[in-house]
Chains A and B, each alone.
Chain A
Amino acid sequence: SAVISQKPSRDICQRGTSLTIQCQVDSQVTMMFWYRQQPGQSLTLIATANQGSEATYESGFVIDKFPISRPNLTFSTLTVSNMSPEDSSIYLCSVQQGMNTEAFFGQGTRLTVV
């Protein structure tokens, strides 16, 4: 399995600001994903991070709010823009080494917006 490092592990941010979350993998992976887990809820897929092209967003998520970069096969960032208290969640990076293989998850970034 891949070793996934997410930074920061947690943060407290002021409303109206932006936070960029980093996801670093110890080996090249085919697919990278970003999830959100709101308090007391299950995980929801935000988008697939595509290397060298725009991310593919799920219904209800837009690029202006959650811009994503993936410059290579081991690294991706998710930015939460113009934050409000409703953005307080755990954000998780997930990777797959192949198209149809199991996914592995980072430990998440716990974001609190005040």
Chain B
Amino acid sequence: DAKTTQPTSMDCAEGRAANLPCNHSTISGNEYVYWYRQIHSQGPQYIIHGLKNNETNEMASLIITEDRKSSTLILPHATLRDTAVYYCIVRGPYAGGTSYGKLTFGQGTILTVHP
């Protein structure tokens, strides 16, 4: 699976949009971009994923560039509860045997939402 690069940390004011970037320049055509977050002392929480089209759900929006080499996770109205580590993960499809599309976590981006 392709490697991702994220900023170590970001700040955001409460009520404003949080835009978290991720670079994945070596992504392959069949690899998805997944986003998870981990709030302190909890298990990771699934946020959203996409292949090449922009995606939106009740939590966030995912914008993937046309060349698929980077993406941005958007939290439209950040709250204090959104303070967490955000992980961008590129994941390929299950291919049988041990070559499944496992989730490989990097160091992520520490997002701090302040009042």
Binding site for B on A (CB under 8 A): 1, 4, 31, 33, 42-45, 48, 56, 92, 94, 99-100, 102-108, 110
Contact = CB atoms under 8 A, between A and B. Distances in A.
Q: Is the interface of B mostly helix, strand, loop or mixed?
A: loop
B43 A105 contact: yes
A101 B42 CA distance: 21
B106 A42 contact: yes
A33 B5 CA distance: 24
26 contacts: A4-B43, A33-B102, A42-B106, A42-B107, A43-B105, A44-B105, A45-B102, A45-B104, A48-B100, A48-B102, A56-B98, A92-B44, A94-B43, A99-B93, A99-B94, A99-B101, A100-B94, A100-B101, A102-B34, A103-B103, A104-B46, A106-B43, A107-B42, A107-B43, A108-B43, A110-B41
Interface string B86-115: 010000011000101111111110000000
Contact of B108 (A42, A48, A103): A42
A56 B101 CA distance: 13
Interface residues of B, number: 21
